[in-house]
Amino acid sequence: MKTYLLAGVAAAALTAGTAQGAGHLPFAPGDGDFNWDSFTAFADANDFSGEEITVTGPWTGADAELVNSVMAYFSEATGATVNYSGSDSFEQDIMISAQAGSAPNVAVFPQPGLASDMAGRGFLSPLGDETAAWVRDNYAAGQSWVDLGTYANADGADELFGFFYKVDVKSLVWYIPEAFDEAGYDIPETMEELKALTDQIVEDGGTPWCIGLGSGAATGWPATDWVEDMMLRTQEPAVYDQWVANELPFNDPAVVAAIEEFGYFALNDAYVDGGAQAVANTDFRESPTGLFDIPPKCYMHRQASFIPTFFPEGTEVGEDVDFFYFPAYAEKDLGKPVLGAGTLFAITNDSPAARGLMEFIKTPIAHEVWMAQSGFLTPHTGVNTDMYANDTLKALGDVLLGATTFRFDASDLMPGEIGAGAFWTGMVDYTTGADAAEVAAGIQERWDAIQ
Amino acid sequence: MSPLIQGVLTIIIGVGGCIGYFFASNLILDKVIFPPKGANPGRNINRANMVRPWLFLLPAILALGLYLVYPVIGSFWRSLFNRAGDEFIGLGNYITMFGDDQFRISLFNNFLWVLVVPAAATFFGLLVAQLTDRMKWGNIAKSLIFMPMAISFVGASLIWKFVYANNPDIGMINAVRDFLGMGPVDVLQIPFWNNFFLMVILIWIQTGFAMVILSAALRGIPEETVEAAIIDGANPFQIFFKIKVPQIMGTIVVVWTTITILVLKVFDIVYTMTGGNFGTEILPSYMMSYMFRDDGRATAVAFVIMLIVLPVMIWNIAQARKEMR
Amino acid sequence: MDNIAGTKTSLSWVMNITVVVLVLLWLIPTIGLLVSSFRDRDQISASGWWLSPFPVEQNFSTRASGDNAVQQGDLFVIEGNVYDDEEMAETFGGETPPIAAFGGTRAAPTAFQPGDVAELSRDRTLSVLEDGSYTFTSPAEFSRDPRIYFASETPPEFSLDNYDTVLTSDNMDVAFINTLTVTIPATVIPILIAAFAAYALAWMDFPGRGLLIAAVVGLLVVPLQLALVPLLNLHNQVGIGQSFVGIWLAHTGFGLPLAIYLLRNYMVGLPRDIIESAKVDGATDFQVFVKIVLPLSFPALASFAIFQFLWTWNDLLVAKVFLPSDDASKVMTVKIADDLLGSRGGDWGILATAAFVSIAVPLVVFFTMQRYLVRGLLAGSVK
């Protein structure tokens, strides 16, 4: 212990002298219950003084500050300068810069589909078997994260390209505890109860749901999350996997049924704020504000763990608003499936320092620093979960851990034309009156066209 | 501060370089290569005059060739390959595209846009230009109408969200409907007509463009012609339609052409307002949804767009021939 | 004579009124944006911008502090004033407008008139007076702070917070200078090149002229997106990479077709006799161009300058592709789109403000150029 401490002090003294342009460290090394050992060990083993690496990703604004605070520790430890830039149109930017040969060292992909696409074109550098083994051993459900990050390279051989860092949970329903309390509603434990509650609210003269699919060019994506959640609640996980791989055609009755399950909520004028017509074009960012209106425009809003960013200013999650797990059918006995998504790091322009950064995000400290500040969930089993910034995040982490089935957002895994195209527009067509079977057939047709 | 100095320097170098090029090259042509003296002054002048147009055109041709022609040819070649870009499929992209419902909708909508937007924007532009021509507060009115031109497309989409939004607390149209006791309606979801609501946005933006160009043209009409007409007892309408409009017909056509071409390029409005849903897709936004995913298809769309503009091109060649005579 | 004067004034009335109507039609949407730029996100989604200058009756909720509960006989009683709450004090700016109605549940926030005693669930009672003071009673201890709902008029509220956010965000000054560094050369260089080319296409006779004109028209329609990747490749190969020089060249290339097209069409319309008599006097094409055509074309040059300036000023796509993405070389549009809007995509107040901030400079340019538009024409007509 003593030697550790001494080594740590020595390393800190050394790096303090060499670190250049390191950003602000929100937690002084050595303070608190962070895993500082992992930090000092990493600092001892790596030195990239004077090197510079560029990172681009989808995080901007407050999130960019957070990722920069993590990068500051990397700079502190190795002396390398990290230049992170975030972009709202990351998907387009990374494609252009990769094709033009001006890619950053490391790219943070918001969804595996795009990374897989780029790996196939030879724009990504493989991370190696060692990293794959590490993920398998150190991430909860490690193999599934390895699988999600493994794509065919330019020659068609499978290799690990993506390293997952930061996970979102999607199977959540947001509500206002006081509104539920006053009306005497209980948190539904099963899908049957949720449907009963929905009817109960209508009977009491309220509107149960706020659903908004509007998102500019990406209009329709929130509905894909609904359908995926419904898929997991009506079918075995294996069927879900077949659907993602298109081994089960999109117009299979199972998928159509899942779409119609979504329609059960979204297409009923009495169930959604503004009526079914409002669903397709209400902005998803604006949609949850209906919860906070007095009298409430709706009582429940199904959305991923990132949505509190769009709650009215000053809203305290946990007190003013809370979430419950989007429940599963009791009768179907499919356990507690959880839908999630995540961002992955990949090397787009290889350099020793870029490799070093990939090593760094394996350390618990790289996860704890973000966890302790704001919305960040991780499957890393080596982190101290006491470091989660608040109880809500901890509860979110529990949803993740309590899941009997965890599945990644299907639309993120499907080819871009489907998962970020036909599926979105198909859902918009469905909510504006098209038949579910027809919509599903149309999406399958599009999928056939690209194979 | 360095970019500022850099900027000032480049302005000087760039602009100075351009001027220097034109001046020096003409000087060399006239004084050194083909001086209008010596053995054959006449032939030298003729030769110099044959070369000179190319001196004038060289920088433009270089820039156009490099920045537009080269990518266009590359893209055309690309449009003959499959989505991965490794298999030559000839016109395969074009054939599958014409079989796509979405493409046919886009094509139809695009024709609507091409018919309505340039006509409406030019009409309003001309109207404002004429009405404000001799008006005391004309410049203020023009500036206000011009303002939308200066707003980015993203800003413009936001502005119109405040008009079209389904929520009567945000959208003006529905606030009025609410006030009159009618239920809210999402105007962007009304089949067919929603296209026109989107066109309104581009008309609103482009009227400023038409107005600026047309009012410059109106002021260019010689005073004497108008005065002569007044003395002849022509009423203001006659002056406008019989004297002014024919005089600026060339400019009207230019404005019309320019806006038509713009309509064929602008995807932002549809992209941000509806994402191409509810049957509002147009070709440029259709192209964007394939861009960087299936470049073969995307470039094929681009060439269909260029095909649409072919009549305008032919007409312009004919016009240029007429002027030559 | 009187009659003619009469129709003239009535006609000018009609004209004035038409222009007023048109200007209003054009202006109303923009006013909405302007008003919204002074409001925050919550206000924007709570009420229409057209209602913002008026006091609006809105529903609010606050918590009665359970810590202040006093046991009086069988009952636990909380007394206080809704306006004492910190959050409420901030919302109302310290004012205490009369309470219009109150309620004890979120679903029925205005069920009772001030002074009434509301019977709530679990045998609780609530009474709120017009001045905001309330009495909450319960037979059991308050497990958590109970909510009080009330309706009251909020004064209209505008703030400069959005402008503060946009204008003082880190590196905005750098972004502003960068934008100017991009736009000025990207406006001046294409105009210069295009003016010469336009003159050649309008007044010089050479084989292939018609074809060149057609090519220019054809190139007008080339979608920018098509050219981005090959050109960035080219820039990287040549060694320009992502830099200001690269973006100037790109804007020049993309702006040229329209510049040539507009200028050529203007120059063709210049009086033939002036140019021909100058040539007869022995002037070379270069002299004719510099001394006669250029001054006469000033209005066209000015109007194209306005448009090219606007496009480069508002451009996002070209800047993102051809400029490096570090803070030192971000332009304003990129800065706003990526840094300010990104994670606050739904923040319409910021968006509205950003749109207004970026509109300011182009409008100044327009006003300056408008003077030149007229002057250039006057100079022309004097000849």
Residues A292 and A313 both lie in one domain = yes
Closest chain C C-alpha to A299 CA, distance in angstroms = 10
- pLDDT of the residue at C216: 87
List pLDDT tens digits, range B37-56: 667 777 777 777 778 888 88
List pLDDT tens digits, range A91-113: 777 887 887 777 889 999 988 88
Mutation pick from A281, A423, A431, A443 vs chain B, by most beta carbons of B within 10 Å, is A281
A337-347/A106-109 β-pairing: antiparallel
List pLDDT tens digits, range A253-286: 999 999 999 999 999 999 999 888 889 888 888 8
Count of structural domains within chain B = 2
C207/B54 Cα distance (integer angstroms): 11
Residue count (chain A): 451
Look up the domain containing A287 and give its range: 172-339+408-450
Tell me which of C130, C154, C178 is where a domain ends: C154
Residues C113 and C195 both lie in one domain = no
pLDDT at position C10 over 90? no
List pLDDT tens digits, range A101-147: 778 899 999 888 888 888 988 899 999 999 999 998 888 778 888 88
pLDDT at position C378 over 60? no
Is residue B85 in a domain?
no
Quote the tokens at residue C353: 């403000």
Residues C65 and C119 both lie in one domain = yes
Residues C240 and C130 both lie in one domain = no
Taking a C-beta distance cutoff of 8 angstroms, is the pair A163, A149 a contact?
yes
C56-63/C147-154 β-pairing: antiparallel
Q: Which distant-in-sequence residues (6+ apart) come within 8 Å of B41 by Cβ? A: B35
Residues B256 and B113 both lie in one domain = yes
Residues A223 and A305 both lie in one domain = yes
Residues A282 and A420 both lie in one domain = yes
**Contact across the interface for A89 and C229, Cβ inside 8 Å:** no
- pLDDT of the residue at A242: 93
Taking a C-beta distance cutoff of 8 angstroms, is the pair A33, A61 a contact?
no
pLDDT at position C377 over 60? no
Residues C221 and C289 both lie in one domain = yes
Is residue B6 in a domain?
yes
Is A316 within 8 Å of chain C by CB? no
List pLDDT tens digits, range A279-333: 988 888 888 989 998 889 999 999 998 888 788 877 888 888 999 999 999 988 8
Taking a C-beta distance cutoff of 8 angstroms, is the pair C63, C43 a contact?
no
Question: What value, to the nearest 5°, has the Cα angle with vertex A386 and ends A384 and A390?
Answer: 135
A59/A166 Cα distance (integer angstroms): 11
Is residue C102 in a domain?
yes
Residues B160 and B266 both lie in one domain = yes
pLDDT at position C286 over 90? no
Residues A89 and A192 both lie in one domain = no
Nearest by CB to B272, from A217, A428, A429: name it. Answer: A217
List pLDDT tens digits, range A142-186: 888 888 899 988 888 999 999 999 888 899 999 999 899 888 899
DSSP element (H, E) containing A39 = helix A36-45
Which chain C residue has its CA at the smallest distance from A56's CA?
Answer: C325
Taking a C-beta distance cutoff of 8 angstroms, is the pair C346, A285 a contact?
yes
pLDDT at position B289 over 50? yes
The per-residue pLDDT of chain A, averaged, comes to 85
Among A215-224, B167-176, C225-234, the range scoring the smallest mean pLDDT is C225-234
Residue written as tokens 């017909």? Answer: B249
Q: Which residue has the higher pLDDT, B14 or C203?
A: C203
Residues C101 and C197 both lie in one domain = no
Q: Would you call B65 helix, strand, or coil by DSSP?
A: helix
Residues B74 and B97 both lie in one domain = no
Which residues from chain B sit within 8 angstroms of residue A450, using beta carbons?
83, 294
**Contact across the interface for A61 and C346, Cβ inside 8 Å:** no
Residues B187 and B139 both lie in one domain = yes
List pLDDT tens digits, range C45-97: 777 888 888 887 888 888 888 777 888 888 888 888 888 888 888 777 778 88
Neighbours of B9 (CB within 10 A): 11
CATH number at A325 reads 3.40.190.10
DSSP element (H, E) containing C81 = strand C75-81
Taking a C-beta distance cutoff of 8 angstroms, is the pair A220, A213 a contact?
yes
Nearest by CB to C339, from A60, A295, A310: name it. Answer: A60
Which chain A residue has its CA at the smallest distance from B86's CA?
Answer: A121
Dihedral (CA of B34, B39, B42, B46) sign: negative
Average pLDDT (A31-48) is 87
Q: Is the ipTM of this complex over 0.95?
A: no
A24/C159 Cα distance (integer angstroms): 31
B192/B214 Cα distance (integer angstroms): 32
pLDDT at position B244 over 50? yes
Residues A432 and A389 both lie in one domain = no
What is chain C's Cα-based Rg? 33
**Contact across the interface for A85 and C229, Cβ inside 8 Å:** no
Name the packing angle between helices A436-450 and A423-431 (round to 10°): 160
Is residue C139 in a domain?
yes
Enter the pTM of the model: 0.85
**Contact across the interface for A425 and B275, Cβ inside 8 Å:** yes
B242/B224 Cα distance (integer angstroms): 15
Residue written as tokens 């069920």? Answer: C111
Look up the domain containing C124 and give its range: 55-154
Mutation pick from B97, B153, B292 vs chain A, by most beta carbons of A within 10 Å, is B292
- DSSP conformational letter for C148: E
Mutation pick from A153, A219, A286, A294 vs chain B, by most beta carbons of B within 10 Å, is A219
**Contact across the interface for A85 and C338, Cβ inside 8 Å:** yes
- pLDDT of the residue at C20: 92
Q: How confident is the model at residue C322 (pLDDT cuts 50, 70, 90)?
A: confident
Q: Would you call C275 helix, strand, or coil by DSSP?
A: helix
Which region holds residue B62: left if phi is over 0, alpha if psi is between -120 and 50, else beta? alpha
The distance between the two most distant Cα atoms of chain A, rounded to a whole number of Å, is: 70
CATH number at C292 reads 1.10.3720.10
Is C226 within 8 Å of chain A by CB? no
Is residue C279 in a domain?
yes
Residues A14 and A127 both lie in one domain = yes
Is residue C168 in a domain?
yes
Which residues from chain C sit within 8 angstroms of residue A309, using beta carbons?
343-344
Which chain C residue has its CA at the smallest distance from B233's CA?
Answer: C4
Nearest by CB to C346, from A85, A97, A283: name it. Answer: A283
pLDDT at position C343 over 80? no
Q: Write phi, then psi, for C133 (nearest 5 degrees).
A: -75, 140
Mutation pick from B30, B149, B201, B309 vs chain C, by most beta carbons of C within 10 Å, is B149
- Tell me how many residue pairs between chain B and chain C have CB atoms under 8 A apart: 319
Neighbours of chain B (3+ CB pairs under 8 A): A, C
Nearest by CB to B272, from A216, A281, A450: name it. Answer: A216
B79/B91 Cα distance (integer angstroms): 8
Which residue from A313, A156, B141, A323 is spatially nearest to C15, judged by alpha carbons?
A: B141
Average pLDDT (C200-212) is 84
DSSP element (H, E) containing C176 = helix C172-203
List pLDDT tens digits, range B246-287: 888 888 888 888 898 888 888 888 887 888 888 888 988 888
Which chain A residue has its CA at the smallest distance from C239's CA?
Answer: A102
Is residue C223 in a domain?
yes
A52-57/A81-86 β-pairing: parallel
Please report, for residues B289, B314, C296, the alpha-carbon distance to residue B304 in angstroms, rounded to integers and kept in the order given: 15, 16, 39
The sheet with strand A300-302 has its strands ordered as A300-302, A172-175, A322-325
The per-residue pLDDT of chain C, averaged, comes to 82
Please report, for residues A31, A37, A346, A366, the alpha-carbon distance to residue A34 in angstroms, rounded to integers and kept in the order given: 7, 9, 26, 10
Residues in chain A whose beta carbon is closer than 8 A to a beta carbon of chain B? 91-92, 95-96, 117, 215-220, 274, 277-278, 280-282, 286, 416-417, 421, 424-425, 428-429, 432, 449-450
Residues B160 and B219 both lie in one domain = yes
Taking a C-beta distance cutoff of 8 angstroms, is the pair B170, C44 a contact?
yes
Closest chain C C-alpha to B213 CA, distance in angstroms = 7
- DSSP conformational letter for C269: T
**Contact across the interface for C223 and B265, Cβ inside 8 Å:** yes
Average pLDDT (B83-104) is 85
**What amino acid occupies position A396?**
L
- pLDDT of the residue at A11: 37
Is residue C50 in a domain?
no
Question: What value, to the nearest 5°, has the Cα angle with vertex B47 and ends B45 and B48?
Answer: 65
Is A133 within 8 Å of chain C by CB? no
C367/C358 Cα distance (integer angstroms): 15
Residues A150 and A285 both lie in one domain = no
The per-residue pLDDT of chain B, averaged, comes to 84
Which chain B residue has its CA at the smallest distance from A217's CA?
Answer: B275
C125-128/C133-138 β-pairing: antiparallel
Q: How confident is the model at residue C7 (pLDDT cuts 50, 70, 90)?
A: low
**Contact across the interface for C338 and A205, Cβ inside 8 Å:** no
Is residue C332 in a domain?
yes
List pLDDT tens digits, range A341-358: 889 999 999 999 999 999
Taking a C-beta distance cutoff of 8 angstroms, is the pair C26, B148 a contact?
yes
Q: Would you call B294 helix, strand, or coil by DSSP?
A: coil
**Contact across the interface for B292 and A92, Cβ inside 8 Å:** yes
Is A283 within 8 Å of chain C by CB? yes
Count of structural domains within chain A = 2
Dihedral (CA of A394, A265, A190, A204) sign: positive
Q: Which residue has the higher pLDDT, B119 or C281?
A: B119
C308/C254 Cα distance (integer angstroms): 10
Residues A77 and A158 both lie in one domain = yes
Three-state SS letters, B244-283: HHHHCHHHHHHHHHHHHHHHCCCCHHHHHHCCCCCCCCCH
pLDDT at position B76 over 90? no
Residues A377 and A244 both lie in one domain = no
Residues A177 and A119 both lie in one domain = no
- pLDDT of the residue at C230: 81
Residues A383 and A295 both lie in one domain = no
Residues C312 and C248 both lie in one domain = yes
Q: b/e for C30-48, b at 16 or more Cβ within 10 A?
A: bebbbbbbbbbbebbbbbb
Q: Residues 309-338, chain C: which have Cβ within 8 Å of B?
A: 310, 313-314, 316, 328-329, 333, 337
CATH number at B131 reads 1.10.3720.10
Taking a C-beta distance cutoff of 8 angstroms, is the pair B47, B54 a contact?
no
Residues B158 and B15 both lie in one domain = no
**Contact across the interface for A88 and C341, Cβ inside 8 Å:** yes
Look up the domain containing B101 and give its range: 92-324
